[in-house]
Amino acid sequence: MTGIQYVLWSAQPPLYVICKHRRNNMQNVTPLAYYYVINGTVYQAPDVYTFVQSRLLGAVEPLKNAFDQVIQYSRYNVAKGYYWQFDKKPATKKDDEKVSEEEKPLQARSTHFQKTRTHMLMQNLFEMFPAGNSLSISDPPGNSEPMDTDVKPEVNEEATHSQPADGNAANPGTSVAKSK
């Protein structure tokens, strides 16, 4: 005898379990579905796939929401790597995102990391180039007299006549050794 059969699987009043299965031959059956009856109401029991899918969805959905919230606080910096920044609270409603700029307080223009890093770099530069090596101005430009542009600079005529023909001026303090 082959075909679909319903068999009372378990009977513990007020709970009854009924199995729907396909009989392939006299010894071989394949279960298709299970039904349970509680106080006269019949419910179909979920199959294993639906049961596991429902349980996984119930466990994974809160994890997904948690990761979505955590990703808003994660930051990356080339020098520091990954770090958490919790000073800003994420907007929970779309109305909160529409707050005008005038209502928001001004935030710091730099973080603590940027301040300490800049201070360290400036300290290293001051150690490499101390203030004693800097150029000093002997006469501040405010006290100097303006230049007279009508006066031409004096030209030493002896220096221009004593230049050799090749165009290079001879330095009087050096002697040229002649090759033999």
pLDDT tens digits for 165-177? 555 555 555 445 5
* pLDDT level of residue 135 (50, 70, 90 thresholds): low
The whole-number average pLDDT for the span 19-37 is: 92
The closest of 177, 161, 180 to 169, measured between CA atoms, is 161
Q: How confident is the model at residue 18 (pLDDT cuts 50, 70, 90)?
A: very high
Burial of 117 (0-12, 13-18, 19+ CB in 10 A): middle
pLDDT score of 80 = 83
What pLDDT digit, counting tens, does each position of 139-152 carry? 555 555 555 555 55
Mean pLDDT to the nearest integer, 43-71: 90
So what's the pLDDT on residue 107?
55
Higher pLDDT, 2 or 177: 2
Q: Is the dihedral of CA 59, 60, 66, 67 positive or negative?
A: positive
Task: Please provide the DSSP assignment of 80-128 as one string.
Answer: TEEEE--SSPPPSSHHHHT--TTTSPPPPSS-HHHHHHHHHHHHHHHHH
Average pLDDT over residues 43-61: 90
Q: What is the pLDDT of residues 114-132, one digit of tens each?
A: 888 888 888 888 888 877 6
Q: For residue 30, what pLDDT is reported?
A: 92
65-115, pLDDT tens digit by residue?
Answer: 998 888 888 888 888 888 888 775 655 544 455 555 555 555 556 678 888
C-beta of residue 35 within 8 angstroms of C-beta of residue 42: yes
pLDDT at residue 1 tops 60: yes
**Residue 17 φ/ψ, nearest 5 degrees:** -115, 130
Confidence of residue 16 (pLDDT cuts 50, 70, 90): very high
